Chain A
């Protein structure tokens, strides 16, 4: 670097630039949090949905699946599974319930979690709520 560009100038860019963009990021975060009610489908968050989210976390579903494109890439996207399963929470529950304990020879298989009826209902309602979030039309199609 040229001598005309001194260390002092570099330091000022670091302090000034970082501080400015840090504050800008906080400002944007406040604005985002204020605007979220328009897109985040919060009116659908019932007690059952909140419980379903805890079941989702307790069983680490995100360790195989993506949810709105985030998670692991081993198993299908679930943000739109409610749509893919013909808007049927019963179909979602039936699928989770029917997983074989010992898997499927040679193939990927979802574990049998032995969930209670209440947990199944929570999960299904949680996934239904997730499908109602406005994601700018992501995923591109029903396959996720």
Chain B
């Protein structure tokens, strides 16, 4: 099987980088998990905060690689033309890879405060905020790459066939770049600072990224099921409509206890309580479409990833999000292990899994076959289950830790100090670490699956 458009193959670079950085992310996740129970592990060489920024920044960077690769693969096919510029896509790839690697390496090699001095943070301070730890110059680099990428994708779509899928994807990607600009706004006023920090974080994962998620999933579902576009597009519109209708004002679930006006207690609770709806619809949509399939696509692994994304994003974002989103509940759970539990399953279920879905679908085609040999697919499906079950248990153990933490530290008549409570949670943190190792093993098997040979499948 050959690619419909040659330029699509540039996606391969992006996907390989994504998987490589994913491995790095998880290694640091396991280090962090160990530091929770073995406090001076790697101390003072790699303090917790440094390991954490490596873990989270690698996550964001590899997901961005994944989104960009997905767009480079999908957009030519949807637009029915070659990419506007393959060369630009390649140049931007190397810039982003080198910049990303340099940022992460600098965290590990230079004390953070020194890094701030070296990069002139005092002249244009943007460092030292969660997820946005990159030196200012690194953030500028991200913007440059994002703009170049958008230009490339935009030119392709605007001069080609405009489908619902590629228009919604483009809107999501443009929104991603737009809201990132709030990373440059760091006022002295802590409340203002926090308020607009959420314009990056919340409006990404519970706003524009959902557009990317839904359009990528819709694309893969069309391909593997052969179901009529009309039906898929109708679903797609409604899902992204519900995502924005609930998710924009839903930002208010972060404005309960940070010094913002009272009305957010109501608005944030009500609107964010609606946020599970688009995730639930995504699940209905995926199963509905797969049940109506008009063909048996030989890539079983891709279908499994697609259905897995639909289920796990609903569990992680929808169910675990709802768990702590109402203001009276959030009063007790705010900033606890419950938050960490939800953050993990939501990121994995929605964004990690959708990137792995499109990789699973597109990578075999870019390697010249419609689907991988069955043996390779079986290995890939094993990795699916190990990673997914690993994540389910990470989430369950953190939730257990969180419930106990909330009780001992915030609910009883004799609240205990934070550090005392942490010691009592150690058994949960050990179990989380074990589940994390299962996840890591799953990931290693995932990487191996790319090298498993076997009988070619007829397309």
Q: Are B257 and A57 in contact (CB under 8 A)?
A: no
Q: Are A70 and B258 in contact (CB under 8 A)?
A: yes
Stretch at the interface among B14-22, B244-252, B388-396: B244-252
Distance of B134 from chain A, by nearest CB (Å): 12
Give which listed residue, A17, A22, A72, A102, contacts B48 with CB less than 8 A: A72
Distance of A71 from chain B, by nearest CB (Å): 6
Task: List the B residue with the shortest CB-CB distance to A13.
Answer: B241
The residues of A that contact B410 with a CB separation of less than 8 Å are 139-141, 143
B6 within 8 A of A: no
B339 within 8 A of A: yes
Q: Are A70 and B125 in contact (CB under 8 A)?
A: no
Distance of A63 from chain B, by nearest CB (Å): 3
Q: A13-B237, A32-B260 are in contact. Are A130 and B190 (CB under 8 A)?
A: yes
Q: Are B49 and A57 in contact (CB under 8 A)?
A: no
For window 101-126 of B, CB contacts with A under 8 Å fall at 112-113, 116, 121-122, 125
B137 within 8 A of A: no
Binary flags per residue of A67-83, CB closer than 8 Å to B gives 1, else 0: 11111111111000000
Give which listed residue, A54, A62, A135, A140, contacts B125 with CB less than 8 A: A54
The residues of A that contact B195 with a CB separation of less than 8 Å are 29, 32-33
Q: Are B260 and A36 in contact (CB under 8 A)?
A: yes
Q: Are A64 and B48 in contact (CB under 8 A)?
A: yes
The residues of A that contact B244 with a CB separation of less than 8 Å are 14, 17-18, 21-22
Distance of B290 from chain A, by nearest CB (Å): 16
What is the CA–CA distance of A84 and B328 in the complex, to the nearest angstrom? 24
Distance of A123 from chain B, by nearest CB (Å): 12
The residues of B that contact A108 with a CB separation of less than 8 Å are 35, 39-40, 48, 419, 422
Task: List the B residue with the shortest CB-CB distance to A39.
Answer: B259
The residues of B that contact A140 with a CB separation of less than 8 Å are 331-332, 410-411, 415
Q: Are A54 and B39 in contact (CB under 8 A)?
A: no
Task: List the A residue with the shortest CB-CB distance to B423.
Answer: A107
What is the CA–CA distance of A31 and B264 in the complex, to the nearest angstrom? 11
Q: Are B245 and A21 in contact (CB under 8 A)?
A: yes
B53 within 8 A of A: yes
For window 46-99 of B, CB contacts with A under 8 Å fall at 47-50, 52-53
Q: Are B188 and A73 in contact (CB under 8 A)?
A: no
Q: Are A71 and B234 in contact (CB under 8 A)?
A: no
Distance of B259 from chain A, by nearest CB (Å): 4
B38 within 8 A of A: yes
What is the CA–CA distance of A24 and B180 in the complex, to the nearest angstrom? 21
Q: How large is the interface on B (under 10, 10 to 19, 20 to 34, 35 or more residues)?
A: 35 or more
Quick one: which of A7, A11, A14, A141 has the most chain B CB within 10 A? A14
What is the CA–CA distance of A35 and B192 in the complex, to the nearest angstrom? 11
Q: Are A143 and B416 in contact (CB under 8 A)?
A: yes
The residues of B that contact A96 with a CB separation of less than 8 Å are none
Task: List the B residue with the shortest CB-CB distance to A67.
Answer: B190
Q: Are A58 and B418 in contact (CB under 8 A)?
A: no
What is the CA–CA distance of A61 and B49 in the complex, to the nearest angstrom? 8
Distance of A110 from chain B, by nearest CB (Å): 9
The residues of A that contact B336 with a CB separation of less than 8 Å are 73
The residues of B that contact A33 with a CB separation of less than 8 Å are 192, 195
A90 within 8 A of B: no
Q: A66-B335, A69-B335 are in contact. Are A10 and B241 (CB under 8 A)?
A: yes
The residues of A that contact B428 with a CB separation of less than 8 Å are none
Q: A7-B234, A129-B190 are in contact. Are A76 and B43 (CB under 8 A)?
A: no
Binary flags per residue of A33-53, CB closer than 8 Å to B gives 1, else 0: 101101111100100011001
What is the CA–CA distance of A134 and B260 in the complex, to the nearest angstrom? 8
Task: List the B residue with the shortest CB-CB distance to A84.
Answer: B417
Q: Are A63 and B258 in contact (CB under 8 A)?
A: no
The residues of B that contact A86 with a CB separation of less than 8 Å are none
Q: Are B133 and A40 in contact (CB under 8 A)?
A: no
Quick one: which of B130, B233, B252, B264 has the most chain A CB within 10 A? B130
Task: List the B residue with the shortest CB-CB distance to A63.
Answer: B49
Q: A130-B190, A141-B410, A143-B416 are in contact. Are A25 and B251 (CB under 8 A)?
A: yes
What is the CA–CA distance of A109 and B188 in the complex, to the nearest angstrom? 28
The residues of A that contact B258 with a CB separation of less than 8 Å are 68-70, 133, 135
Distance of B243 from chain A, by nearest CB (Å): 9
Q: Are A40 and B128 in contact (CB under 8 A)?
A: no
Binary flags per residue of A93-117, CB closer than 8 Å to B gives 1, else 0: 0000000011111111101110000
What is the CA–CA distance of A112 and B113 in the complex, to the nearest angstrom? 12
Distance of B228 from chain A, by nearest CB (Å): 11
Q: Are B192 and A40 in contact (CB under 8 A)?
A: yes
What is the CA–CA distance of A12 and B424 in the complex, to the nearest angstrom? 53
Give which listed residue, A14, A102, A111, contacts B47 with CB less than 8 A: A111
Give which listed residue, A25, A31, A102, contacts B248 with CB less than 8 A: A25
Quick one: which of B164, B234, B267 has the most chain A CB within 10 A? B234
Shortest beta-carbon contacts, A-B, top 8: A63-B49, A57-B128, A69-B335, A138-B257, A108-B39, A10-B237, A40-B191, A76-B418
Hey, which bits of chain A sit against chain B, CB under 8 A? 1, 5-7, 10-11, 13-14, 17-18, 21-22, 24-25, 28-29, 31-33, 35-36, 38-42, 45, 49-50, 53-54, 56-64, 66-77, 101-109, 111-113, 129-130, 133-136, 138-144
